[in-house]
């Protein structure tokens, strides 16, 4: 299969959480299995991205209300990832040091709606030209969830409507919803498709993606079940579309997350787990001035309720 993963994150280029880990590992192992899997993400001003060499392969314009925004598609010449990585460069919208939030203020970007509408349309404009290169569009979270709608109901992109679209929900609490005040920012679409965009009185990209995709997955069977009773308002929709849902548990890239070789660990694992844990606790205690007489508990998550941090 020729698969294009479309996401806001991809390790090691840009990562804020588990989404980046999955998108940076899944295509690598799909390629090992004999598929042709690649990734497209926005071009941020991240250190890894800034160090790469690129080839610009496409340029275009996107209508955003009454203006046209230029963009270009670049592919990195780095061949160490195990997959081809593409960047959507939209000057003025993604060329910032933060992925989702401003590094200075700590708040989310005020133009988030515009950013992801531009990102998704840029991807589709490019794919129309390169349609033979991709047989499956794999969209990740709400940042790419309008793509299944756009290929079916936007005249500009309908030539792609026969390409299967998969939506993976990594975090069902974030929908990317916005008010109908922003209606004019959307690409032109069939009038009868209006209801597909709406959920709860607003434009809801994640809900729309669930309605329009060929199939959707979650990051585990348990999380799929959880979305039927805790999904920030789209629980009924998940149940309605259950026939095209699959819970597939996340894997892990053992080439990277290997305690025997990980350069970020103070003391690497050999055959003795107890010594490994003891030495690393000592290193951590010394760094943060923690008493070794007290138990050490780690919580590697964001401090938000869906991660158990009530």
pLDDT at 126: 97
Beta bridge partners of 60: 71
Strands 202-203 and 54-64: unpaired
pLDDT at 135: 96
pLDDT at 310: 78
Question: Model confidence at 170, in pLDDT bands (50, 70, 90)?
Answer: very high
Check if the beta carbon of residue 139 is closer than 8 Å to that of residue 176: no
Residue 114: HSE in the Cβ half-sphere, 13 Å Cα cutoff: 16
- List helix spans (H) across the chain: 18-32, 47-50, 112-129, 147-153, 194-197, 205-212, 221-226, 235-240, 273-288
Give me 139's structure tokens: 């969209």
- Catalogue the long-range contacts made by 253-256 (C-beta closer than 8 Å, 24 or more residues apart): 253/21, 253/24, 253/25, 253/28, 253/29, 256/11, 256/25
User: Is 194 or 306 the better-scoring residue by pLDDT?
Assistant: 194
| 223-258 pLDDT per residue, tens | 999 999 999 999 999 999 999 999 999 988 988 889
- When mean pLDDT is compared across 55-59, 202-206, 296-300, the lowest value belongs to 296-300
Following CA atoms 289, 293, 299, 305 in sequence, which dihedral angle do they give, to the nearest 10 degrees? -100
Euclidean distance between CA atoms 229 and 292, whole angstroms: 42
| 268-280 pLDDT per residue, tens | 999 899 999 999 9
| 78-92 pLDDT per residue, tens | 889 999 999 999 999
Which domains, and CATH codes, for the chain? 2-247 (3.40.50.2000), 258-310 (no CATH)
Share of the chain above pLDDT 90, in %: 85
């Amino acid at each position: 299969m020729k698969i294009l993963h479309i996401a806001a994150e991809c390790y090691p280029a840009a990562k804020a959480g588990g989404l980046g880990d999955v998108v940076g590992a899944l295509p690598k192992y799909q390629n090992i299995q004999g598929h042709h899997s690649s990734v497209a993400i926005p071009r941020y001003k991240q250190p890894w991205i800034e160090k790469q060499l690129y080839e610009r392969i496409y340029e275009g314009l996107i209508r955003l209300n009454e203006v046209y925004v230029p963009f270009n598609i670049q592919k990195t010449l780095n061949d160490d990832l195990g997959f081809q990585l593409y960047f959507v460069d939209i000057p003025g919208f993604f060329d910032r040091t933060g992925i989702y939030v401003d590094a200075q203020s700590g708040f989310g970007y005020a133009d988030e709606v515009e950013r992801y509408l531009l990102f998704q349309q840029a991807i589709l404009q490019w794919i129309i030209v390169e349609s033979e290169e991709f047989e499956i569009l794999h969209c990740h979270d709400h940042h790419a969830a309008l793509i299944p709608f756009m290929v079916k109901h936007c005249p500009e992109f309908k030539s792609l409507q026969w390409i299967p679209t998969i939506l993976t929900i990594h975090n069902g609490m974030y929908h990317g919803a916005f008010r109908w005040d922003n209606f004019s920012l959307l690409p032109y679409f069939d009038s009868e498709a209006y209801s597909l965009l709406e959920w709860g009185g607003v434009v809801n990209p994640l809900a729309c993606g669930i309605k329009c995709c060929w199939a959707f997955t979650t990051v585990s069977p348990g999380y799929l079940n959880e979305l039927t009773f805790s999904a920030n308002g789209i629980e009924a929709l998940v149940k309605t579309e259950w026939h095209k849902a699959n819970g597939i548990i996340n894997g892990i890239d053992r080439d990277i997350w290997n305690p025997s070789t990980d350069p970020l660990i103070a003391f690497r694992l050999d055959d003795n787990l107890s010594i490994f844990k003891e030495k690393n606790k000592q290193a951590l205690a010394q760094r943060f001035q923690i008493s070794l007489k007290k138990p050490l508990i780690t919580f590697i998550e964001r401090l938000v309720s869906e991660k158990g941090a009530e």
